[in-house]
Amino acid sequence: MTTNSERHGLHGLADQQIFVLEPPAWDELQEALNRPPTRNPRITALLAQPSTLEAGRARRRASEEQK
């Protein structure tokens, strides 16, 4: 049995997965999706850094090694 909030959550997800575009907008979206990705130095730098989880684990390990 699902709760009311679960049903609303599922409907919200469904609303985000299906959308309708007019043919010109659909063609424009398809063109954009088919273009090769462009380099973004800021994203490259961000992805080169450890995640918050990785950084926390590294700090915990370093702290444990000092004991």
DSSP for 13-58?
HHHHH-----HHHHHHHHHHHHSPPPP-HHHHHHHHSPPHHHHHHH
Residues 10/17, Cβ–Cβ less than 8 Å: no
Instruction: Count how many domains the chain has.
Output: 1
What's the mean per-residue pLDDT of the chain?
A: 86
Predicted model pTM: 0.41
Between 48 and 16, residue with greater pLDDT: 48
For residue 20, what are the domain limits? Answer: 4-66
The CA-based diameter of the chain, rounded to the nearest angstrom, is 65
